Amino acid sequence: MEFTNKVVVITGSGQGIGRAYAIEFAKAGAAVVVADLNEEQANKVAAEVNAAGGKAVAIKVDVADKASAQAMIDKAIESFGRVDVLINNAAIFSTLKMKPFEEIDGDEWDRVMAVNARGVFFSAQAAAKPMRAQKSGKIINISSSVVVTGRANYAHYVASKGAVVALTRALATELGEVGINVNAISPHGIVTEVPRDTIKPEQWDAILSAQALKRKGDVSDMIGATMFLASDAAKYITGQTLNVDAGLRFN
């Protein structure tokens, strides 16, 4: 898909799926803002994009902090003059330890909700102002299949991703009148270079058995869906959640 003269801001893009977004959108002609809490990783990804002939800037961002989220969007405007797409990809997941919900303390609950839900909210708030001025824009929020499956021992993560789906519908309703599309993507079983110690080989067997497509997903499986929602091909789609889950069967 073609994104020449478009500016794409991607949170959590220092590694994993976010890094893949940055690389692929740049290949498609977009200028990308690589935003991550890990500044070193963000700089590496931006350098990788620029070395390949693309256009990228890096910024350290804590999406749970309103001022930091605003600075991210300000950086995009300063560097490239506009914001066309915001991908709310940053989330806490791979570092979480599975535990019964009775063992999740208030601090851990708040930390997960702050990044995974409040971070989406603050980033969207910051991006909405320039998008309103343009009377156009795409906000894509990354949720998860756990919203429907209710995966055990991740109660805070499940709740945070449920909030993302609900927020997507609310923002789509508010922003649609000015031409801004807001959608969510619900992935399942996507493997990246980020370690996932919580998933054992026998658990992968159970995961694959619940899918129509009997393979693990990889970052390339997320690229097409995200680029579609970011493109003009999806200009009449808003408030929706696109499942990228290999035909997951909910038992």
Position of tokens 């009449």? 236
pLDDT at 196: 61
In sequence order, what are the residues at sequence separation of 6 or more whose Cβ sits closer than 8 angstroms to the Cβ of residue 26? 32, 49, 52, 54, 55, 56
Mean pLDDT of the chain: 93
Residues 162-215: tens digit of each pLDDT: 999 999 999 999 999 999 999 999 998 778 766 666 666 667 677 777 877 887
What ranges do the domains of the chain cover? 7-244
Q: pLDDT grade, residue 251 (50/70/90)?
A: very low
Residues 39-75: tens digit of each pLDDT: 999 999 999 999 999 999 999 999 999 999 999 999 9
Q: Which two tokens stand for residue 12?
A: 């959590």
pLDDT at 192: 75
Which has the higher per-residue pLDDT, 102 or 218? 102
195, 222 in Cβ contact below 8 A? no
pLDDT at 158: 97
Neighbour tally for 107: CB within 10 Å: 8
Which has the higher per-residue pLDDT, 148 or 205? 148
Domain range 7-244, CATH class: alpha beta
* Cα 86 from Cα 11, distance rounded (Å): 8
Give the active site residues. Answer: 157
16-20, 34-38, 150-154: least confident range: 150-154
* Cα 63 from Cα 153, distance rounded (Å): 25
Name residue 8's beta-bridge partners. Answer: 32, 85
Position of tokens 């791979």? 94
Task: Report whether pLDDT(225) > 90.
Answer: yes
Task: Report whether pLDDT(233) > 50.
Answer: yes
In sequence order, what are the residues at sequence separation of 6 or more whose Cβ sits closer than 8 angstroms to the Cβ of residue 69? 61, 62, 63, 119, 122, 123, 125, 126
